[in-house]
Structure 1
Amino acid sequence: MGVWWWRLLFAALSGILFSAQPCASQKVPKYRFMQNARTAANISYYDYIVIGGGTAGCPLAATLSQNYSVLLLERGGSPYGNPNISNLAAFGAALSDTSPSSPAQRFISQDGVINSRARVLGGGSCLNAGFYTRASPQYVREAGWDGRAVNESYEWVEKLVAFEPPMKQWQSAVRDGLLEIGVLPNNGFTYDHIEGTKVGGTIFDHNGFRHTAADLLEYANPTRITVLLDATVHRILFRVKDGSKPMAHGVVFRDSLGRRHKAYLNHHPRNEIIVSAGALGSPQLLMLSGIGPSNHLKAHNIRLTLDQPLVGQGMSDNPMNAIFVPSPRDVEVSLIEVVGITSFGSYIEAASGENFAGGSPRDYGMFSPKIGQLSTVPPKQRSPEALAKATKDMESLDEAAFRGGFILEKIMGPISTGHLELPSRDPNHNPLVTFNYFKETRDLERCVQGLTTVEKIIESKAFSPFRYPNMPISLLLNMTASAPVNLLPKHTNSSLSLQQFCRDTVMTIWHYHGGCQVRKVVDNDYKVLGVDALRVIDGSTFNDSPGTNPQATVMMLGRYMGVKILSQRLGAAPSA
């Protein structure tokens, strides 16, 4: 079957779906096909079972439902009606919620960096800072994707969830500072990944309302899709006949009351189970289902389905380091809108403003200890006591201490990798993950180059309205590294090297990936090697984080692979 059939089907589906497209500025209502798993039958049957209603799972399930029956299983709840998810000004509130019902499940890597994973329909797109940007053409080529179909998939996503940001004074000053110091050319507003300085997209509309991957379920065929919330999958079921490869044929999941349910594939050789549970959840579920390093699985008394030592390997998290710049004037509340894509592999971004997270500047959004972003002590010292102390110290500060913003750098890749292991057989427990930040020297060099670029922006003429003239860079570094949040200082005393600053102040930007990588755990069609009727489609398959921020590409991949699966299936049997 040639590419022409795939593109023909893609165009047909796009035409059908776009014609019924809702207004993107409207709040998406609760879907009639969405229900709590407590209402699910004990046993049910579908053509496709998608595990994980996140950034990839929602567009994937919506696409597959155009022709086949689909069950989408999400371990979290609905994002709709939750202002901590929907409102830009409340960024950080969901991430700071550590209750069992929170849409964000906190975890701490073995490196000591505090992080979060999504537990809500729509996945990370319900929690992130909203930046929307595509992968580079080189990334697309290296992934082996069809360029035209990739672009059409991005466009399908963008019609519902992507917008041009407002670009007020702080973000404009960062942009102009980047251009002034030579991060060229000026690429203006674009979703494309192009070296230089650009204004990217955002999933927050002009009213500050967040649009998420869950909104892409608006494209679904409501007669062929079932979405179950609070449905935690415990194991994928396999059957083996006559020495053939294990074939996935069902899943076991539990509802919020702990009741056990099973869902099976209808009997057809092309029906499949697709795991889209994220970079932590997908390798974890494969291991819980018996696919992983045999010795590790045996240690947890997990019945072996396939000895696959590469499951859970190649885990990476893009390290973020930031410098806080107190401002002599008020600045707007903004998340990520501008990015400087440097020639040496560091990305420069910024966030600003008081009154983050529901009106309290002491929550301070992306860089608050309340959400785990504590950079004032080295990673291994970020204990619950340290978090509590930093939070208490913040509460004693004058509001003027919070006026300003952060300029951050994140390195491309990264090159450094780690691994993931099971702590237990309970899927609700966070896996143990090691990212090995800055293990590779080149990652550390890029961090230093990125911070040097940030320093130049702060000292630029374009940024001068937002900088106190008596604060040298050494003072800003000292403030960032040694205060609960940066307070206007009375003296300077900094001898930190940039290398040590990178190591001591490293935080996550929530772009972790790996664990089920292409050509290691899955093939180029995302089919799990060594078994049948099972794929993994999400960020766990990535070797590198795409673009400057991955959410656009993860949503694109869900749509792209949904169309490819349909084209392969319908192309093999056109009468279907």
Structure 2
Amino acid sequence: MSVEGWRLFGVALAGILFSLEFCSSQEDPNYTFMHNATSAPTTAYYDYIIIGGGTAGCPLAATLSQNYSVLLLERGGSPYGNPNITKLASFGAALSDQSPSSPSQRFISEDGVINYRARVLGGGSCLNAGFYTRAGTQYVRNVGWDGRLVNESYQWVENMVAFEPPMLQWQSAVRDGLLEVGVLPFNGFTYDHINGTKIGGTIFDKDGIRHTAADLLKYANPSGLTVLLHATVRRVLFRTKGRTRPLAHGVVFRDTSGVKHKAYLNDGPKNEIIISAGALGSPQLLMLSGIGPADHLKAYNISVKVDQPLVGQGMSDNPMNAIFVPSPVPVEVSLIQVVGITEYGSYIEAASGENFAGSSPQDYGMFSPKVGQLPTVPPRDRTPEALAKAVKQMEALDKAAFRGGFILEKIRGPLSTGHLELRTRNPNHNPSVTFNYFQDPRDLEICVQGLGTIEKIIESKSFSQFRYDNLPLPVLLNMTANSPINLLPKHKNVSTSLEQFCKDTVMTIWHYHGGCQVGRVVDADYYVLGVDALRVIDGSTFSYSPGTNPQATVMMLGRYMGVKILNERLAAGESN
């Protein structure tokens, strides 16, 4: 084995030992390299500057720190010590919290669907429903990744943050129902993306404690990494004098006191700035730095470095539609554990437990109006007043009304796309984003087929213990308009089709992507086209969402590209 091979083996072994220790505890790891940005010097120099300590940024920083000095800038705070992030039973509370210090930042797409972007070290892995599953082998081939390094990178992630979930009654019934209605074969517990029904992984351990991408920083070389929290990057700095292409060489960021800091790259032909700010943050930051559609940038008095009209294009969000199934018997609290990967392009998943419907002020659910998931009215009618009314109605109901769970379907891809534009020059402000849900009729067709599969599951023998016999799907879809758990918006004197149901009840499953896609904004090595020493590495580079849930692949990508960069520099004869 080469010296580099032994080094990477040692890093992996250390990670396993760390994970055995850390997975039994939810305590703050007390990273010695993590600081508030208020303590940062006015000017500092590093080999790599990574903007965004999220699902890709953390594994990327941990990997590069093995050989080089790395600055990781995160606009949010630490996930440690926050029970709304850590505990499975508190899922949703972090989304409903919209205080300035919240780990989530709500945004509403121009389609009217309420959504969220992460504002915390660890990114979306601190806010999601925890499902962990790899991309399919065909996806990996299509993207052009090295299959062996992909598998090694997934394993590196999994040694720290992935677990096999416990299978209790509700999830088992969904699994058996999927098999009964023909979503075959049964693939057992696996991280792999394979057609049929499977039990996937989770980032919640056996005690219901969440493990996030921030935990991957345990792999880091502490002497090679600096993490600054509450550091909001305003723009990337470029050298242009005497150059045919702009050269990224630094960043400007502000701390919570408004003090401006600058960080620059050390001299060296291979040192880089890497943007990992997410599907909203990365195209937004490129535009704020002068890379984007020239006319749009000039409208905001931004100096144009590269006229790149494709920045912010190709934005997609996988539409989710769900059916609430009231149960005659109690059900466990569970997040996504089982998935049916259908041949026609729909992914069937489920969540259960009365607190996930948001039935009291203490309960914040995956499908609760408290987090903006209000399918009882069409997207553009989900106003603050409508949300408040739905919360009030829910809180007036007996808790027994929420005994049950949701079966949902997500569209593969999707094929429908939209775009992103700036609203202001303030990076703390949300950009404007349009996803154009169901604009492509093929997405709508898949939604209808997915609802048909859900109907068969609900009516299956396997699911019978959790079904009221007098509530078949047509009844569930046509419950009275005054019922706050009815998922069907009413159209007066109109019979609602499943196509209309899909459009009216569409919600997000938080898997939005695009804006800096490979071949359009970045090349196959994730370098931004038209400039030097700048890459984008995160979900904004995806044309399609990988697998049933993307977080595993985004974490893998951070590790994958970190190893590629190290290997390239090693092959060039460089050392730290």
| TM bucket normalised to smaller | over 0.9
2:265 maps to: 265
Question: What secondary structure, in the 3-state scheme, does the structure 1 residue paired with 2:222 have?
Answer: coil
* Distance verdict in 2 for CA 1:200–1:480, change over 3 Å: farther
C-alpha distance in structure 2 between counterparts of 1:19 and 1:311, whole Å: 42
State the match for 2:490 in structure 1.
Answer: none
Q: Which runs of structure 1 show a deviation greater than 6 angstroms over 4 or more consecutive aligned residues?
A: 4-9
Q: Distance in 1 between matches of 2:208 and 2:19?
A: 21
Displacement, 1:21? 4.9
Distance 1:538 1:508 in 2: 19
Structure 2 CA distance, aligned partners of 1:469 and 1:182? 22
Is residue 51–residue 74 contact of structure 1 (8 Å, CA) maintained in 2?
yes
1:217 aligns with 2:202: no
Letter in 1 for 2:115: N
Cα distance change of structure 1 residues 523 and 12 upon mapping to structure 2, 3 Å threshold: farther
Aligned-pair distance for 1:8? 7.5
Q: Alpha carbons of 1:47 and 1:574: their partners in 2 closer, same or farther (altered >3 Å)?
A: closer
For residues 267 and 226 of structure 2, the distance between their equivalents in structure 1, rounded to whole angstroms, comes to 18
Alignment-derived partner of residue 200 in structure 2: 200
Deviation at 1:22, TM superposition (A): 4.7
Q: Which residue of 2 aligns with 1:14?
A: 12
* SS in structure 2 at match of 1:235: strand
CA offsets, 1:213-255, max 9 Å, x none? Answer: 0000000000110100000000000001323210000000000
Residues 39-78 of structure 1 aligned to structure 2 (within 5 Å): 39-78=39-78
For residues 467-506 of structure 1, the aligned pairs below 5 Å read 467-479=467-479, 483-486=483-486, 495-506=495-506
The corresponding residue for 1:402 is 402
Q: Distance in 2 between matches of 1:174 and 1:181?
A: 11
Which residue of structure 2 lines up, in the alignment, with residue 107 of structure 1? 107
Cα displacement string for residues 496-544 of structure 1 (whole angstroms, at most 9, x for unaligned residues): 2100000000000000000000010001110101100000000000000
Q: Structure 1 residues 364 and 328, CA, compared in 2 at 3 Å: closer, same or farther?
A: farther
Shift of the 45–481 alpha-carbon distance from structure 1 to 2, 3 Å rule, reads farther
Provide the rounded CA distance (Å) in 2 between the counterparts of 1:315 and 1:109: 11
Q: Paired residue for 1:173?
A: 173
Query: Secondary structure at 2:192's aligned position in 1?
Result: coil
- Take 1:268 and 1:466, find their aligned partners in 2: how far apart are those partners? 63
For 1:12 and 1:142, locate their aligned partners in 2 and report how far apart those are by CA, in whole Å.
31
SS at match of 2:525: coil
CA contact (8 A) 1:280 1:515 kept: yes
Q: TM-score, normalised by structure 1?
A: 0.96
Question: In the alignment, does 2:173 pair up with 1:161?
Answer: no
Q: In structure 1, what is the equivalent of residue 372 of structure 2?
A: 372
Q: Report if the CA contact (8 A) 1:323-1:480 is conserved.
A: no
Q: Which amino acid aligns with 2:524?
A: N
Cα deviation code 1:43-72 (max 9, x no counterpart): 111000000000000000000000000000
Rounded Cα–Cα distance in structure 1 between residues aligned with 2:398 and 2:293:
53
**Counterpart in the other structure of 1:188:** 188
> What is aligned with 1:89?
89
Letter in 1 for 2:385: E
Aligned equivalent of 2:438:
438
* 1:243 aligned counterpart, secondary structure: coil
Does 1:227 pair with 2:227? yes
Give the structure 2 partner of residue 323 of structure 1: 323
What letter is aligned with 1:147?
Answer: G
**AA at the equivalent of 1:312:** G
Query: What does residue 118 of structure 2 align with?
Result: 118
- Deviation for aligned residue 1:16: 5.6
Residues 76-119 of structure 1, C-alpha deviations (whole Å, 9 max, x = no match): 00000000000000000000011111101000000000000000
Pairwise CA distance, 1:485: 2.0
Q: Distance in 2 between matches of 1:359 and 1:34?
A: 38
Secondary structure class of the residue paired with 2:187: strand
Report matched runs for 1:332-343 at 5 Å.
Answer: 332-343=332-343
The offset of 1:444, in angstroms, is 0.2
The equivalent of 1:412 in structure 2 is 412
Corresponding position of 1:565: 565
Deviation at 1:354, TM superposition (A): 1.8
TM-score by length of 2: 0.96
Give the aligned residue type for 1:14. Answer: A
Over residues 126-183 of structure 1, what are the superposed CA-to-partner deviations in whole Å (9 max), with x where a residue is unaligned? 0000000000000000111000100000000001100000010000000000000000
What are structure 1's unaligned runs of at least 5 residues?
A: 488-492
| Counterpart amino acid of residue 230 in structure 2 | D
Helix, strand or coil: the match of 1:367?
coil
Cα distance change on mapping 1:298 and 1:21 into 2, 3 Å: same
- Post-superposition shift, 1:295? 0.2
Residue 287 of structure 2 aligns with an amino acid whose one-letter code is M
Retained in 2: the 8 A contact 1:279–1:538? yes
Q: Give the superposed CA RMSD.
A: 1.9
Query: Closer, same or farther in 2 for the Cα pair 1:11/1:483, shift >3 Å?
Result: same
> For 2:81, what is the secondary structure of its paired residue?
coil
Task: Kindly indicate whether residue 10 of structure 2 is the aligned counterpart of residue 29 of structure 1.
Answer: no
Q: Which amino acid aligns with 1:116?
A: Y
Shift in Å at residue 475 of structure 1? 1.3
Residues in 2 aligned to 1:250 and 1:480: alpha-carbon distance in whole angstroms:
58
Deviation of 1:495 after TM superposition, in Å, equals 3.3
TM-aligned CA distance change 1:190 to 1:568, over 3 Å: same
CA contact (8 A) 2:364 2:371 kept: no
Percentage of pairs with the same residue: 76
Aligned match of 1:448: 448
Counterpart-to-counterpart distance in 2, 1:419 and 1:455: 34
What is the rounded CA distance, in whole Å, between the counterparts of 2:313 and 2:544 in structure 1? 13
> Quick one: which amino acid aligns to residue 405 of structure 2?
G
Unmatched runs of 5 consecutive residues or more in structure 2: 488-492
**401-410 or 17-26, which moves further after superposition?**
17-26
SS state of the match for residue 366, structure 2? Answer: helix
Q: Give the aligned residue type for 1:211.
A: H
For residues 122 and 380 of structure 1, the distance between their equivalents in structure 2, rounded to whole angstroms, comes to 31
Bigger shift: residues 554-563 or 566-575? 566-575
Partner in structure 2 of residue 490 of structure 1: none
Contact 1:361 1:399 in 2 (8 A): no
2:170 & 2:16 partners in 1: Cα distance? 36
Any idea what SS the aligned residue of 1:516 has? coil
Aligned partner of 1:144 in structure 2 is 144
Q: What SS does the corresponding residue of 2:419 show, helix, strand or coil?
A: strand
C-alpha distance in 2 between matches for 1:191 and 1:379: 33
Distance 1:281 1:327 in 2: 41
The 1:106–1:225 alpha-carbon spacing in structure 2 relative to 1, beyond 3 Å, is same
Whole-Å Cα distance in 2 between the matches of residues 45 and 233 of structure 1? 16
Instruction: Measure the CA separation in 1 of the matches of 2:358 and 2:485.
Output: 18
AA matched with 1:461: K
Q: What letter corresponds to residue 297 of structure 1 in structure 2?
A: L
